[in-house]
């Protein structure tokens, strides 16, 4: 399939001796437009936004929030900078309050890592809220020798500025299963890996935000060892 790409790179030299680099690749392929920006900002730059319930000493110290599925599927942590900014020095663990939710990684304003507590999926194709689709599917059996698996998800609605994530759990939904081959999500018909394996957290995390259309297919692929029985959870969470 033809793929045309336009890449703009602009380097801004801002006042206050602050250097910001902003590179925005825009890929268009048929109906699918992906807008991803890589906003690498000098560490002296102050963040514009922090969640209202951020756990750092001050909102200015808040860096990011990510799910920690190795601890539990409702666990997440805030990462906090020191009083003068700079590197992340403190991690504050917390949990989605509602027991019937799971933590889902999303991107805010295209680049800020944060999370949303979403209703725990109980079936293959669910619409928990407008501009969202989630699901869960079982894989493997005690006698199964297949190690590579694919779950193809066809969108039933348009979802704008979507963050796509996924994770594997045991069949009881109690603990995270580390895939044998990395868990990834690819947008069919494109080269976009819209959810990418995170080695630290052993889940598939959003690689950007994508304007997805009804009928688009996301192929989640992963490997498990023979005889392993798992659940795959996925979430496609639109943004504004």
Binding site for ligand NAG (CB under 6 A): 22, 37, 39, 41, 45, 47-48, 66, 105, 113, 198, 200-201, 205
166 and 195 Cβ atoms separated by less than 8 Å:
yes
22 vs 33, which CB is nearer to ligand NAG?
22
Q: Which residue is nearest to ligand NAG (CB)?
A: 200
Nearest to 185 by CA among 121, 232, 132, 239: 232
63 vs 133, which CB is nearer to ligand NAG?
63
44 vs 217, which CB is nearer to ligand NAG?
44
CA–CA dist 67, 203 (Å, integer): 9
| Shortest spacing between CB 181 and ligand NAG, in angstroms | 18
Q: What does the block give as tokens for 204?
A: 């598939």
| Shortest spacing between CB 205 and ligand NAG, in angstroms | 4
| Shortest spacing between CB 189 and ligand NAG, in angstroms | 26
66 vs 161, which CB is nearer to ligand NAG?
66
How many other CB atoms sit within 10 Å of the CB of residue 8? Answer: 10
Q: What does the block give as tokens for 78?
A: 């805030």
Write out the E strands in 73-158: 75-82, 85-95, 101-108, 112-119, 132-139, 148-154
Pairing of strands 203-206, 193-198: antiparallel
| Shortest spacing between CB 123 and ligand NAG, in angstroms | 25
DSSP string, 191-203: --EEEEEETTTTE
228 vs 234, which CB is nearer to ligand NAG?
234
| Shortest spacing between CB 225 and ligand NAG, in angstroms | 23
């Amino acid at each position: 399939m033809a793929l045309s790409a336009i890449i703009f790179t602009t380097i801004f030299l801002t006042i206050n001796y602050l250097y910001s680099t902003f590179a925005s690749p825009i890929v268009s392929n048929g109906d699918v437009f992906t807008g991803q920006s890589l906003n690498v900002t000098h560490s002296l730059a102050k963040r514009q936004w922090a969640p209202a319930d951020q756990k750092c000493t001050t909102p200015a110290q808040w860096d990011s929030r990510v799910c920690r599925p190795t601890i539990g599927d409702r666990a997440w942590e805030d990462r906090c900078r020191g009083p003068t900014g700079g590197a992340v020095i403190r991690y504050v663990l917390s949990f989605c309050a509602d027991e019937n939710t799971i933590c889902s990684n999303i991107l805010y304003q295209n680049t800020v890592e944060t999370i949303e507590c979403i209703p725990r999926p109980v079936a293959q194709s669910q619409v928990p809220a407008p501009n969202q689709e989630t699901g869960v599917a079982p894989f493997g059996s005690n006698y199964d020798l297949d190690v590579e698996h694919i779950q193809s998800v066809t969108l039933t609605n348009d979802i704008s500025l979507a963050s796509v994530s996924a994770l594997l759990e045991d069949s009881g939904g109690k603990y995270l299963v580390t895939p044998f081959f990395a868990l990834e999500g690819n947008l069919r018909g494109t080269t976009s890996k819209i959810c990418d394996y995170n080695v630290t957290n052993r889940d598939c995390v959003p690689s950007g935000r994508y304007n997805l259309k009804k009928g688009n297919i996301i192929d989640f692929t992963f490997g498990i060892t023979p005889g392993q029985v798992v659940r795959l959870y996925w979430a496609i969470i639109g943004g504004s």
